[in-house]
Amino acid sequence: MSTIAPTRQVARITPPSERNLKNRTSIGQTLRNTFTMAYRGLVKIRRTPEQLVDVTVQPIIFTLMFAYLFGGAIAGSVAGYLPQLIPGILVQTVITTSVVTGVQLREDMDKGVFDRFRSLPIARIAPLSGALLADTVRYAIATTITFVVGYVIGYHPAGGIGPVVLAALLVIACSWAISWIFAFFGVIARTASSVQGISMLVLFPLTFLSNAYVPVKSLVPALQWFVNINPISHLVTAVRDLANNGTVGADLWISLLGAVVIVLVFAPLTVRAYMRKA
């Protein structure tokens, strides 16, 4: 009597090329997944509203503190200082807020959240692009609060509502571009605290060694040279031209060109580094 040997099932290992084909998604699905992840970021803010402290409390404190402490010394009065101060506060607040992108990205990766996303049938880039998109809401909140606080204490932009909206969009666009830099730090750094430390070490000299708070002519010649080439100074000047005069100057185009260059350089670097870990 013959016996039939049991057949052994051998697990098939999917080659890398086939796995890559399975991971590919259409542009439409990528966009849908990006918006879904952006909505997730907004839900996180709703459940933990203390995440908005930096975009709600900070502009109020900075505006009131700088206006009433330095307004008389720099411009002779608070009202005379506000046209110079508010654009500077706006740029500093919104750009500083972009650091949160890299910090939260690193925290999600440390907690294993992105490992769970990797097991889902979604575009692998969606968690990254969704986080960047959600943070534009934070920039809009900081921009609105800064202008509102300025208006309450006496700042009335002479440029009109249209140029003010354009100035707000300019700051949001440039901050979104800069957030790619901090997203790159978030992917390659080891801890969230290191991302925040490195980012602040870069941002604080750039924002304070600019024309945001004091006239350039009041600085020593060596600092004047740095302030004049500082990209933050160009952005602040562009916002002042729009809000105070309703004009578009060369600084606006320089700021937009700088934002495009940042995205062209850091977006591919961030996506490549992220894909290696995702």
Q: What is the pLDDT of residues 199-222, one digit of tens each?
A: 888 888 888 889 999 889 888 888
pLDDT value, residue 100: 84
Is residue 167 within 8 Å of 238, Cβ to Cβ?
Answer: yes
Distance between CA 236 and CA 167 in Å, rounded? 10
Instruction: Place 177 in a pLDDT band, splitting at 50, 70 and 90.
Output: very high
Question: Per-residue pLDDT tens for 183-205?
Answer: 898 888 888 888 888 888 888 88
Q: What is the DSSP string of 92-117?
A: HHHHHHTHHHHHHHHHHHHTTHHHHH
Instruction: Place 15 in a pLDDT band, splitting at 50, 70 and 90.
Output: very low
pLDDT value, residue 240: 95
Nearest to 83 by CA among 252, 245, 216, 250: 245
Distance between CA 131 and CA 104 in Å, rounded? 9
Number of other CB atoms surrounding residue 223 within 10 Å: 14
Instruction: Give the percent of the chain with pLDDT over 70.
Output: 90
Nearest to 176 by CA among 256, 89, 276, 56: 256
The token pair at 142 is: 């900081």
Is residue 239 within 8 Å of 245, Cβ to Cβ?
Answer: no
Instruction: Place 2 in a pLDDT band, splitting at 50, 70 and 90.
Output: very low
- pLDDT reading at 137 higher than 60: yes
Distance between CA 98 and CA 35 in Å, rounded? 19
Distance between CA 121 and CA 23 in Å, rounded? 8
pLDDT value, residue 151: 93
Q: What's the start-to-end Cα distance of the chain, in Å? A: 55
Question: Per-residue pLDDT tens for 70-86?
Answer: 888 888 889 899 999 99
pTM of the model: 0.83
Q: What is the DSSP string of 58-79?
A: HHHHHHHHHHHHHHHHHHSSHH
pLDDT value, residue 108: 78
Distance between CA 150 and CA 194 in Å, rounded? 34
Question: Per-residue pLDDT tens for 24-37?
Answer: 667 778 888 888 88
Instruction: Place 278 in a pLDDT band, splitting at 50, 70 and 90.
Output: low
Question: Per-residue pLDDT tens for 94-134?
Answer: 898 888 888 888 887 888 777 777 777 777 778 888 888 88
> How high does pLDDT run on average in the chain?
84
Alpha helix positions (H), 8-52? 16-23, 27-47
